[in-house]
A and B are shown apart, each in its own frame.
Chain A
Amino acid sequence: MTALLHVDNISKRFGGFVALDGIELAVEPGERLGLIGPNGSGKSTLVNCICGTLQNESGSVRFDGHVIDGLAAHQRTHRGIARSFQLPRPFHSMNLADNLRIPLLYTVHARLGPLRSAGDLDARCHELLEMVGLAKKAKQMPRDLTQVEMRKLELARAMAAEPKLLIADESMAGLSHSEIEDILALLVKLNERGITIILIEHIMSAVMSFSQRLAVLVSGKKIADGKPEDVVRNPEVVRAYLGQ
């Protein structure tokens, strides 16, 4: 198996509610995977189980050749899994540059040892902000940002950890058409640098243009997985997801 991420038959329940029911998912290195499903279908729970915010009850998650079950979220970040949150969660008391400094200090340092000097750190923060087009606002606070800028900060902070896999959890919800294009272009650029991306999204046009492969979750089960154009024509998907 050469998959970067291999989710093997994982389940998660909250009390009597089965949030994930035997999910099986493999993601190849460098792939762009779209993950869709109606509200409450378990997408975010799956993300949380992959990232370590929640622990799966059965099955296992393998990343980069190692089983990562039981590892805390920060350990998984150190291994190379980064995520952006559905609702942006910046560090409110820090300016944008310092927001990016955290993953640099705690993840990149932890991985490589303290190689970076203070100057290198500043340069790297600036470079990341440049990448998402926020370089001019380095000294501003997160509260001064617009929605789309907040999403970009969220992605930049995930990228600061220098991940192998980036999970973008609804990073376009509530944005305008041109803003969606902005974020999509950014994600494609990251993918071209060799980062594997899982995109969770409701906006179908964005998912269709971005994904090389599409997986569909419905009430905790994966009901389809394949080429986007095939998946959206799958009658089961049409019935459950698009509504008919």
Chain B
Amino acid sequence: MAKFSLITIAVGAMVMAGAHWVHVDYLYFASYTILQFIVLATAWNILGGYCGYVNFGSAAFFAMGAYSSVFIHKIYPLPVPLLILAGAIVSGIAGFGMGYLTLRLRGSFFAIATLALAVVLQTLVVNWEYVGGSRGAYIIRPEEIEFAGITINYIEYLFGLMLLLAVIALITARTIERSQLGFGFATIRDDELAAEASGVPTLRIKLIATTISGAFMGMAGAPFPYYIGYLQPSSAFGLEYAVNSIAMPMIGGTTSWIGPLVGAILLGSAQQYATVTISSAVNLLIVGLMLVAFVIIAPNGLVGLVQGWRRAWRKP
């Protein structure tokens, strides 16, 4: 556990140092998006992969994080780390609420309810003048930020924060996976009735999952207005967030923390590449095609595929 955290933090620090060494602004922009998807995919997987509850409303939690930043920025601009904390609280509470309201729903009914939540929230935000309504809100990002006498580029700062979030999300996911809670999550995925009969408080555990998952999505969304500079409902509630946070764990593999990581890096990079070389409109096409391909070739994702190979290798 401690070893894993150290390794993850070390890798994070290396990425940070490497990026600083290359020091191309575009690289920060592109990697920020990928890191953001690592957080989103990992958060989705805590509920969707570990517990088996498919959430189609990721965009809503992401947007709640983003809009809580806009809201606070309008009152009094706080430093971004505090905004991330605020986003976590807002989306965590929303996750808890969603879990509480949909406790009796299973399978596709739960998925539909989460989709409905996203639509309802988007309608609310569109009609909420204070945070910009349908026109959207501008947040002027400072050029740079000073840190104990060192001036760093603001986009590098945001990149660093998102990198830190990704590290925290991955450590959290892996810790859960190996804990009593992780075993409880897996019983919910396998058979809720048998879980209850074995003494697992399925209701409480499900609420823990929806809260943690929601909170991380909110954290991923909180710095977004600063990153993009202009936030409008259609970009914060974008289809790409909902689709990507499902597709990335599916492609990587949903049973382990490494699945969402691999999926996010793979799909995220492919999308960034396509944005530069072809057009950003082709992004969702890539996701769709890869999802179809993986459902056919590797229904358990890349992790499942590799596990299958290793098993075949061991007993020839």
Interface residues in chain A, defined as those with a beta carbon under 8 Å from any beta carbon in chain B: 51-53, 72-75, 77-78, 82-83, 85, 89-94, 98, 101-103, 105-107, 109-110, 157-158, 160-161
Contacts and interface: CB of A to CB of B under 8 A. Distances in A.
Contact of A89 (B186, B191, B201, B203): B191
Nearest to B189: A93
Given A93-B186, A93-B255, A106-B180, A74 B202 contact: yes
Interface stretch (B14-22, B116-124, B192-200, B276-284): B192-200
Contact of A91 (B191, B201, B203): B191
Nearest to B194: A89
Given A77-B199, A83-B197, A103-B198, 14 more contacts: A53-B196, A73-B197, A74-B201, A77-B198, A78-B199, A90-B190, A90-B191, A90-B194, A92-B191, A93-B190, A94-B190, A102-B183, A107-B199, A158-B197
A113 to B, nearest CB: 13
B200 A74 contact: yes
B193 A53 contact: yes
A93 B253 CA distance: 14
Interface residues of B, number: 20
B194 A91 contact: yes
Contacts of A93: 186, 189-190, 255
B199 A85 contact: no
A85 B183 contact: no
B199 A91 contact: no
Given A72-B203, A74-B202, A94-B190, A106 B184 contact: yes
A94 to B, nearest CB: 6
Nearest to B188: A91
A72 B201 contact: yes
20 contacts: A53-B197, A74-B197, A74-B200, A85-B193, A85-B194, A85-B197, A89-B194, A91-B190, A91-B194, A92-B191, A98-B183, A102-B184, A102-B187, A105-B184, A106-B199, A106-B201, A107-B199, A158-B197, A161-B198, A161-B199
A53 B194 CA distance: 10
A90 B198 CA distance: 11
A141 to B, nearest CB: 11
B196 A73 contact: yes
Which interface residue of B183, B197, B200 has the most chain A CB atoms within 10 A? B197
A51 B199 contact: no
Contacts of B200: 74, 102, 106
B120 to A, nearest CB: 30
Interface of B is mostly: helix
Contacts of B180: 105-106, 109
Contacts of A52: 196
Contacts of B186: 91, 93-94
Contact of B199 (A89, A92, A103): A103
A102 B198 contact: yes
B196 A105 contact: no
A77 B196 contact: yes
A82 B190 contact: no
Contacts of A78: 199
Contacts of A110: 199
Interface string B43-82: 0000000000000000000000000000000000000000
A3 to B, nearest CB: 22
A101 B182 CA distance: 12
Contacts of B202: 74
Nearest to A160: B198
Contacts of B189: 93
Given A74-B202, A93-B189, A82 B183 contact: no
Contacts of A106: 180, 184, 198-201
B48 to A, nearest CB: 14
A104 to B, nearest CB: 9
Nearest to B181: A105
Contacts of A77: 196-199
Contacts of B203: 72
Contacts of B193: 53, 73, 85, 89
A107 B200 CA distance: 7
Contacts of B194: 85, 89-91, 157
Interface in B188-241: 189-191, 193-203
Contacts of A74: 195-202
A91 B197 contact: no
A213 to B, nearest CB: 25
Nearest to B52: A93
Interface string B242-274: 000000000000010000000000000000000
A72 B204 CA distance: 12
Nearest to A77: B199
Contacts of B196: 52-53, 72-74, 77
A94 B190 CA distance: 9
A157 B191 contact: no
A90 B191 CA distance: 8
Contacts of A98: 183
A40 to B, nearest CB: 20
A101 B191 CA distance: 15
